[in-house]
Chain A
């Protein structure tokens, strides 16, 4: 059986179980309900953690003796490894469970797996799952001393990716209230886009744009405080930050888009499009990059691209989120 079936999608539930107080996290499931002050605290703390990667001993003893489990029900390289490094740089012990290939395949239910991990005295689960709401479901079904971090759940949210993106943006544009940000591509299926839209809205970014073919823009996306564009050249005009999303090629054969080549012509970040964005504008991508589909190699490897900085920043931001969720 698939564990997906036992997950009750609970998106209507707006109770804010992830925060203990405005200064403390218990779980980190979604950005939607976080106060601005807490988001800024996470960014400030990440700034301090960024220095740890430059130390000769790249480790601080903050989470010594804690056990953190990477509970991944879906493939991931970047997210899992940066979470693992973040936990190790905080001196925690890390267990990587790839449940695609583990007991669940032998018929164990998700709850049985959780009970077993609890019995091993683990302190935190970092969860990635193909079903929306999975991390929240787990947070409601584990013992109260365990923190849950959402590392991506279905099409719902990928809050740590959004946090590292805004951390990267702040490095270049310290005042969120003065910038124009565009998110380009498969907005409809993207949990990164959803979390980003919430984060940018909470930080009071005055001009948030989403760009893509009509088939990949969610209906009523304007209600999230963003402006939809179908024309990329108009959409990215004068933007300070352009975030390209991965075109999920596994969906290529469906009717969402014509073909990769045409998609690149319409929505790919080609070198000539650099002239349209603001003079000091930056180009971002959460990875993995489909070169020549949503972005050209020349742009992805060029001096306006901050794609690799996003990866480095991901470690510091995740260190901040892990430590804030683990504190009393």
Chain B
């Protein structure tokens, strides 16, 4: 099942608005937006632009921090991590497309701490689905979704970005 372009767009708009409110409410001036490759990096770039910050968002390739290397190995095709500025004392906005088991977010947080000591980390996702295996939940999300165990939701993109629900082994 595919979301329409407009449905995905509406979710993107929703997290953008929520993030603006969040930054305002917490008086955060210069957040460091970091996207997780690949889908999270697309969304992070969009947020970076729409919130009026210059340049590209930072991006993380978390494959070297995953906890399942001894089961699945590494994927050579993932783009390298780009961390243009220091994370020390920054308010980090960590962006991913889907929050599922929480393991990717755990890996991303570990990687961020190898670049320094952020002031805070806020998690923004487009979709938070059921199946969490770690005590991690999103601070800002587009929607929460209940999916069968044999289904995955993924983001196609980057232009346009469209969510799609697929079978796990497809």
Interface, chain A (partner B; CB < 8 A): 24, 41-42, 44-45, 47-52, 55-57, 59-63, 320, 323-324, 327-328
CB-CB under 8 A for A59 and B76, given A48-B81, A52-B64: no
Among B13-21, B67-75, B121-129, the one that faces the other chain is B67-75
Closest Cβ neighbor of B70 among chain A residues: A328
If A56-B114, A62-B64 touch, whether A50 touches B71 (CB-CB below 8 Å) is no
Q: When the two chains form their complex, are residues B115 and A55 in contact, meaning their CB atoms are under 8 A apart?
A: yes
Q: Most chain-A CB neighbours within 10 Å: which of B64, B65, B69, B80?
A: B64
Assuming the contacts A55-B114, A56-B114, asked whether A48 and B71 have C-beta atoms less than 8 A apart, the reply is no
- What is the total number of residues of chain B having a CB less than 8 Å from a CB of chain A? 25
- Is B120 at the interface (CB under 8 A from chain A)? no
Q: State whether B77 touches A61 (Cβ < 8 A).
A: no
Chain A residues with CB under 8 A of B114: 55-57, 59-60
Known: A41-B76, A323-B74. A48 touches B65 (CB 8 A): no
- Identify whether the interface residues of B are mostly helix, strand, loop, or mixed: loop
> In the assembly, what is the distance between CA of A57 and CA of B61, in Å?
16
The total of Cβ contacts below 8 Å across the A-B interface reads 63
In the bound assembly, the distance between CA atoms of A313 and B24 in angstroms comes to 44
Partner of B69, one of A44, A47, A62: A62
Residue in B closest to A60 when the chains form the complex, CB atoms: B64
A51 and B81 contact, CB distance less than 8 A: yes
- Whether, in the assembled complex, B145 has its beta carbon less than 8 Å from a beta carbon of chain A, the answer is no
Complex Cα distance A24/B73, Å? Answer: 9
Convert B100-120 into 0s and 1s, putting 1 for each residue whose CB lies closer than 8 angstroms to a CB of A.
Answer: 000000000011011110000
Q: Which of A41, A50, A60 contacts B65 (CB 8 A)?
A: A60
Residues of B within 8 A of A45 (CB): 74, 76
Residues of chain B with a CB closer than 8 A to A324's CB:
73-74, 76
Q: Determine whether the beta carbon of A327 is less than 8 Å from that of B80.
A: no
B78: interface (CB < 8 Å): yes
Interface centre among A41, A48, A55, A61 (most CB of B within 10 A): A48
Q: How far is the CA of A49 from the CA of B78 in the complex (A)?
A: 11
> Are the C-beta atoms of B65 and A47 separated by less than 8 Å?
no
